[in-house]
Amino acid sequence: MVSGNDVFDTSVLVGSGGNITVQHWGNDSTRKGAPTYMQDAQIAWQNASQDTRNAIQSAVIVNGEGRVVYIGPTKENPPLENWVRSFANGKTYIGIGAWGDFKGDVNDNNQVS
């Protein structure tokens, strides 16, 4: 790849708004997205209380080995949004950005700026 081109890493495309890590070539300060999103989700799931797990279990798919493999959309699911924000807030767009007269979440707005 030629230096100066943009790099788009879609290898971590997942649910909850779709985490895609993007940055300009060689410039870490331009990075948007959370490169360890699913690893962080796994740790958060393992550390979540049973009440939290019960509240979000319909939106979090776990495989037979107990690993999180998919997280549904956070929009209109406050318990799920709170859980995702516990490990990804400010690192990736979680799905509550400004729209019309709604100001949205400041961290989500920063991710799409």
**Quick check: is 78 in a domain?**
yes
pTM of the model: 0.75
Domain ranges, residue 81: 6-93
pLDDT at residue number 20: 65
pLDDT at residue number 5: 52
pLDDT tens for the chain, residues 1 to 113 = 445 555 555 444 455 555 667 677 777 787 777 778 888 999 999 999 999 999 999 999 999 999 988 888 888 889 999 999 999 888 887 877 788 898 888 888 887 76
**Quick check: is 11 in a domain?**
yes
**Quick check: is 29 in a domain?**
yes
**Quick check: is 57 in a domain?**
yes
**Quick check: is 42 in a domain?**
yes
**Quick check: is 107 in a domain?**
no
The closest of 70, 67, 66 to 58, measured between CA atoms, is 70
**Quick check: is 84 in a domain?**
yes
- Helix 78-88 to helix 37-47 angle (10° resolution) is 120
